[in-house]
Structure 1
Amino acid sequence: MSQHTWFILAIIIYMLVMLAIGYWSFRQTTEYDDYVLAGRGLNPFIAAMSAGASDMSGWLLMGLPGALFVTGLSELWIAIGLAIGTWANWKWVAPRLRSYSEVAKNSITLPSFFENRLHDKSRALRMISALIIIVFFTFYVSSGMVSGGRYFESTFGGNYLDGMLIVAFVTVAYTFIGGFLAVSYTDAVQGIIMFCSLIIVPVMALISLDNPGDILSWAASHDYGPYTQGIGNPTYFNMIAGVGAATLIGNLAWGLGYFGQPHIVMRFMALRKPSEAKIGGRIGVFWMVLCMLGALSTAVVGTVFFSQNPDVAVTDRESFETIFLDMGRILFHPLIAGLVLTAVLAAIMSTMSSQLLVVSSSLVEDIFKVLRRQIPSEAVLINLSRTAVVAVAVIGAVLSIHPSDSILGLVGFAWAGFGSSFGPLMLASLYWRRLNYQGAIAGMLTGAIVSFAWGMSSLSNLIYEIVPGFGFGALVMVLVSLATKQPTDAMNDEFDRATKLARIAESNPDMDIDKAIIQVDG
């Protein structure tokens, strides 16, 4: 069989597995809460792998290796910031959010949690946060579809548009039928695939080199990729070369974005109990660090691999975001290569499915149910959510037909938007008693507007937009909260209950969440 036939066979096997998980999840999903949040029944391993896989997207296997390949180790500050952010998110947000979201009227979406936490009867906080999710996730979904199209270009030499549509169709299919449970379990499988592939590909590429030790110096003194002047990239291994204070702060600030990513924190809300956040955090951070080391190794080994193999070339000659794909395609038997290369599909589809589900949940739970006085049946709500999945996918596909930015650029724009809008609000909701809904709305809007305007202007070349967005959003949130009325006694009592529940769960990890709630209530 030809190489393309083997690749197609591998892709078909992978797609069938994803659809099978979707069908199994469909059989387990009978209620609307199951479709949106899996009945709060995720074990910590599934939650951690799902959060990691939905977090990383095609950026981990395409955007990050490409940036490290072209620029050098100075791009590693983003990965360091993300690793720190992952740890902080599991440490500070996960257990508190799992407790508080249940105490706050069993909130099942992020906008509903903010509304219930702050007792906002105007519904403005919920509606605005839902609209922010819809706007920024449209860009995020678009980045996934761009990754899918480029994947098929590199792997099959096929048409970008065809590849984009195939990836979108299968992702929509299993998300459509299985909801949050399907998304979580497919994410876990996809996270394992990504992990294994990021270890195998650079190791095999390193073994194939005539002198593996070349990777420690080659890029700094030899031409490769975009460098054709005979001197290579002399600052490749210097992490601070050409990195000003603003750039360093901006790259590390990617970690701030974690606190406000709806598709990640939803996994915290779906945990079986708050105490399992500790186990989930250990698994999530371990997975994240090793995967990023794999991406780094792919880039460093790639500088030598493609230079010493002049007969092979990187498909993407602009951003060099296909080096992982190209190395896997060259190194392995076509069937094994096809299975390895599904890691990129896994990354793309895991993130897209999570984003599609969060957007559809916001459309139905936070906009439709708020605007409609009479709430329809469970079956109707589930079908509306499925319809919303398809609608958002169509919009994302339209935006992806002619991509005008790199994968990293698209992801970075959406990441900053969420981090600036929801990051300060999330931390304050969980840890600051004085917060009120006026401050929440003002800070959220400020963060979104500053991040959007900064990212669309030339100021984004000065510093990453999440820094001013997060900073101004937090400042305005605090000032407006202090200038307006204090929280009610009911809000303070609820805050105390949520805090006590998180502490009890942490000190008694084997205690059932329902028993912990009974203990909190005396």
Structure 2
Amino acid sequence: MKGDTFQIFISMIIYMAVVLGIGLYFAKRANESSENYFLGGRSLGPLVTAMSAEASDMSGWLLMGLPGVAYWYGLSDAVWTAIGLAAGTYLNWLFVAKRLHSYSVIAGDSITLPDFFSNRFKEKNKVIMTISAIFILVFFTVYASSCFVTVGKLFNTLFGFKYQHMMIAGAAFVLFYTYIGGFLAETASDTMQAFVMIFALLTILIVGTSVAGGVLAVVENAKSIPGFFEFFGIASPTVVDGSQQIINGVPQFGEAGEYGLYTILSTLAWGLGYFGMPQVLLRFMAIRDAGELTQSRRIATVWVIISLGAAVALGIIGRSLFPTELLTYSESESIFIVLSSKLLPSALAGFVMAGILAATISSSDSYLLIAASAFSKNIYQHLIKKDATDKQVMNVSRIILVLISIIGIVIALDENSVIFTIVSFAWAGFGATFGPITIFSLFWKRTTREGAIAGMLSGGIMVFIWKLVLKPMGGIFGVYELLPAFIVSCIFIYAVSKMTDEPSLKIQEEFELAKEKSSEK
């Protein structure tokens, strides 16, 4: 390992040691009870709530997936995705946060999302809880695999280590400190990592723009590529045998593709996913005081806008500085690594690229913990062993953590996996399964248990049908699967709720109480 590379390696190892220290620090408190382990005892402050929510949400996708899209296809696809996500972030914090926090306390002091849905509709046979837990297990396993792919690509690109070995090592590291520290370790480290991520993005943005000759030079280069710097067009790299063609040192592009209104609406639909993201919704439930959510919303929105904007810009800058460096879509997701390693001093590059680790760790720990809690609390304790002690629940949770990690590793074994593609599928799954029912549960008193079940099943199943069966047909079916699945779920919730008996008086009274409580703060 060369001297510069060794310095980068040491910087990243030091960073990982700090994260591990956080897990060990919170281990004792986390093990006091399952509420502490899974929800931190509802003790989060506004800064930690905001920063941990956004860091856990963005993952390595922010530093690798999104810049990769901008590097490969240009501005439109990346920027419309970013706009949709920024709008979704703000609206979720504005409308859902306070109501969910109040309602989760009133509805049996729920500490997981399946808990809340089940308690909201006063279930006896726990059908909603089981369906919720199963979908969380499925989609978070896929989500965790995308994080493992990120780690593998990072260390493979930087140090030449075998992708599979590094991917497994990264998964083992995340598993270990989530295993011992639980939700408190996760949120504390996520907060620190949110700062690392935005520092990394802004550092490379400033340095990259300067080296490229300034903003005007970057824009001029982008405009020279057909469709690359357009809101309503998209670049079309000329690919031969899987790689972009290079002639006389110049990457080749075909004619610009169209990026019409239908495609824009499809891309903006990414924002709908926020209403069903368990890792974000859980933070709303965990804050110590709902009155502090306004401050959290402002922090989260500013962080998201800056981070997404910088990530998109890095892809454009990367195409200007290193136009022939990355010749496949999968490789393009390494543009942040290339920029960092080639533009910064080694020690600083190591710290900046720790931002990728930060993004990856902050998401994968959330995914693993929520998926484990979905099984241990909602299936094991409520269905398999109803008299399970707190200690037994936590032990089962840790077993599930290991199993989910193993499955995620198997999914991530292919080093040609595209992070953006994996994340987009899991994002659609959560958005369509939980987004509509979250909104209807919080804001429509007439929502029934039967409507909730129909909405969750139809939304989750439609994601698979649209992605695997309809989308390959192209044309009008080429839309991102989240949009049609979200709409189908809403239709089923409304129609089935109207066709079934009104909720009981107790459910309606709790709804009004939650509404009143959330408006007071």
Q: State the distance in 2 between where 1:437 and 1:388 align.
A: 28
More displaced stretch, 222-231 vs 25-34: 222-231
- Equivalent of 1:329 in 341, 345, 348: 341
Alpha-carbon spacing, 1:278–1:234, altered in 2? closer, same or farther (3 Å): farther
CA offset digits 1:85-106 (Å, max 9, x no partner): 0001101111100000000000
Other-structure match for 1:252: 268
Other-structure match for 1:282: 298
1:133 aligns to 2:136 (yes or no): yes
- Confirm or deny: 8 A CA contact 2:71 2:318 kept in the other structure: yes
More displaced stretch, 80-89 vs 314-323: 314-323
Other-structure match for 2:14: 13
Note the 1:31-46 alignment, pairs <5 A.
31-46=33-48
- Confirm or deny: 8 A CA contact 1:220 1:231 kept in the other structure: no
- Confirm or deny: 8 A CA contact 1:142 1:400 kept in the other structure: yes
Note the 1:49-198 alignment, pairs <5 A.
49-75=51-77, 76-198=79-201
Letter in 1 for 2:173: V
- Confirm or deny: 8 A CA contact 1:423 1:470 kept in the other structure: yes
- Equivalent of 2:420 in 408, 411, 415: 408
Q: CA deviation at 1:57?
A: 0.8
Q: State the distance in 2 between where 1:494 and 1:318 align.
A: 49
CA offset digits 1:392-435 (Å, max 9, x no partner): 11111111112564111100001001111111100001000001
- Confirm or deny: 8 A CA contact 2:54 2:300 kept in the other structure: yes
- Equivalent of 1:367 in 379, 388, 392: 379
1:221 aligns to 2:205 (yes or no): no
Alpha-carbon spacing, 1:189–1:13, altered in 2? closer, same or farther (3 Å): same
Letter in 2 for 1:187: D
Other-structure match for 1:4: 5
Q: State the distance in 1 between where 2:503 and 2:204 align.
A: 54
Q: CA deviation at 1:305?
A: 1.2
CA offset digits 1:455-478 (Å, max 9, x no partner): 112526510001110001110111
Other-structure match for 1:377: 389
More displaced stretch, 243-252 vs 362-371: 243-252
Q: State the distance in 1 between where 2:88 and 2:342 align.
A: 35
- Equivalent of 2:446 in 426, 429, 434: 434
Q: State the distance in 2 between where 1:464 and 1:360 align.
A: 28
2:136 is paired with a residue of what secondary structure? helix
CA offset digits 1:207-230 (Å, max 9, x no partner): 223465311110232699847466
- Equivalent of 2:519 in 496, 503, 520: 503
Alpha-carbon spacing, 1:171–1:253, altered in 2? closer, same or farther (3 Å): same
Q: State the distance in 1 between where 2:166 and 2:89 align.
A: 31
Q: State the distance in 2 between where 1:58 and 1:97 align.
A: 28
Q: State the distance in 2 between where 1:114 and 1:27 align.
A: 30
Identity, in percent, stands at 37
Letter in 1 for 2:274: Y
1:283 is paired with a residue of what secondary structure? helix
Q: CA deviation at 1:356?
A: 0.2
Q: State the distance in 2 between where 1:395 and 1:201 align.
A: 34
Q: CA deviation at 1:384?
A: 1.9
Alpha-carbon spacing, 1:491–1:72, altered in 2? closer, same or farther (3 Å): same
Q: Which runs of 5+ in 1 are unaligned?
A: 506-522
Q: CA deviation at 1:3?
A: 2.1
- Confirm or deny: 8 A CA contact 1:220 1:232 kept in the other structure: no
Q: State the distance in 2 between where 1:72 and 1:7 align.
A: 30
Letter in 2 for 1:44: P
Q: State the distance in 2 between where 1:3 and 1:31 align.
A: 45
Q: State the distance in 1 between where 2:84 and 2:369 align.
A: 27
- Confirm or deny: 8 A CA contact 1:40 1:270 kept in the other structure: yes
- Confirm or deny: 8 A CA contact 2:36 2:183 kept in the other structure: yes
Q: Structure 2 length normalisation: TM-score?
A: 0.92
Q: State the distance in 2 between where 1:168 and 1:402 align.
A: 15
More displaced stretch, 175-184 vs 213-222: 213-222
Letter in 1 for 2:64: M
Alpha-carbon spacing, 1:421–1:6, altered in 2? closer, same or farther (3 Å): same
Alpha-carbon spacing, 1:231–1:302, altered in 2? closer, same or farther (3 Å): closer
Letter in 2 for 1:263: Q
Letter in 2 for 1:247: T
Q: State the distance in 2 between where 1:282 and 1:221 align.
A: 38
Q: State the distance in 1 between where 2:415 and 2:462 align.
A: 24
- Confirm or deny: 8 A CA contact 2:50 2:296 kept in the other structure: yes
Other-structure match for 1:263: 279
Q: CA deviation at 1:318?
A: 4.4
Q: State the distance in 1 between where 2:416 and 2:497 align.
A: 39
Q: State the distance in 2 between where 1:135 and 1:504 align.
A: 37
Q: CA deviation at 1:337?
A: 0.7
More displaced stretch, 411-420 vs 204-213: 204-213
- Confirm or deny: 8 A CA contact 1:101 1:269 kept in the other structure: yes
- Equivalent of 1:358 in 360, 364, 370: 370
Q: State the distance in 1 between where 2:431 and 2:329 align.
A: 31
- Confirm or deny: 8 A CA contact 2:4 2:346 kept in the other structure: yes
Q: Which runs of 5+ in 2 are unaligned?
A: 229-236, 238-243
Aligned length: 497
- Confirm or deny: 8 A CA contact 2:149 2:417 kept in the other structure: no
Note the 1:227-238 alignment, pairs <5 A.
228=246
- Confirm or deny: 8 A CA contact 1:315 1:326 kept in the other structure: no
Q: Structure 1 length normalisation: TM-score?
A: 0.91
Other-structure match for 1:450: 462
- Confirm or deny: 8 A CA contact 2:330 2:417 kept in the other structure: no
CA offset digits 1:436-455 (Å, max 9, x no partner): 11000011100011111111
Q: State the distance in 2 between where 1:42 and 1:326 align.
A: 37
- Confirm or deny: 8 A CA contact 1:315 1:322 kept in the other structure: no
Q: CA deviation at 1:122?
A: 2.2
Q: State the distance in 1 between where 2:204 and 2:493 align.
A: 46
